Amino acid sequence: MTTIVRSAIFTALLSLLSMTPTLATEGERDTFKDDPSSGEEAGGCTQAGVGQAFFRTCTSSVGTLTGVTSPAGATNLIQSEGYAICSAGGVHGVATTFGSSGLDVPTTSTQASNVRTTTDGVFRITQSFLRDALEKEIIITVTIRNMSAVSVSGVRFSRFFDADVTDQSDWAGATKESAFIWDRYSADPGRGLQLGARTYTYPTEAHIVQFANYSPFSTGCTPGAIGGNGGAFADWTARVTYTIGTIAPGASKIVKFVYRMI
């Protein structure tokens, strides 16, 4: 399935939603220290290093990753990326590269942070993005605040991505706390991307799912048909989910994710 077909699928699902384009700004060498006072546009791209040390990442105005590239000259590993917030009451909000459902327009949107509220007014989601060019990783810290007047139980937060390392077909695997997709048989084998949990206070699940069952807008925080340990050359996606539990009125919970080149 090509990127064009994928975009068409998500566009159809989001026909009633307002799309926000990704705005990008670049420098020849950015150390990833973002300055909100610089007038930088929402979202965008940053990069550092040259050759094998080159590391470039892009974020959208809705707080999703739209690009991870390394080394220099390599193709972008991210086809789509996003997150979902759920509770015992159901799915509250979902965001992907192609748009959002159940989430208001962000009140803060830079390369370093993104803040938005679910349209039902229950949760405020604050994300911060810390990029480490030397380690080729991105740490995403997510603060989930209960904005309602009652406790919310069964809270879960999920992050997921579709990485086409070899244009569409890759190998994949998962442990309890991380999922990864990599290239095994190409002219430049071994490139891949891992999504992992960085907070061990809450139970986590990590899954790989074939793209045909990806559907984050319909699955929310629950993966589609799980693909085991990916023992097949296929079009894989990956997901990591925290089970946070109950959040009291006005209280916040924090979880962290890490994307790492492998």
Which pLDDT tens digit goes with each residue over 165-191? Answer: 766 567 888 998 999 988 766 555 567
Q: How far is CA 145 from the centre of its chain?
A: 19
Scored b (16 or more CB within 10 A) or e, 67-89 reads bbbbbeebebbbbbbbbbbbbee
CATH number at residue 190: 2.70.98.40
| pLDDT at residue number 211 | 86
pLDDT of residue 4 exceeding 70, the answer is no
- Please state the domain count of the chain: 1
Residue 252 CB burial class (10 angstroms; 0-12, 13-18, ≥19): middle
Which domain does 104 fall in, by range?
A: 3-261
How far apart are the C-alpha atoms of 19 and 109, rounded to whole Å? 15
H/E element holding 158?
Answer: strand 152-162
Q: Quickly state the pLDDT bin for 14 (edges 50, 70, 90).
A: very low
pTM of the model: 0.81
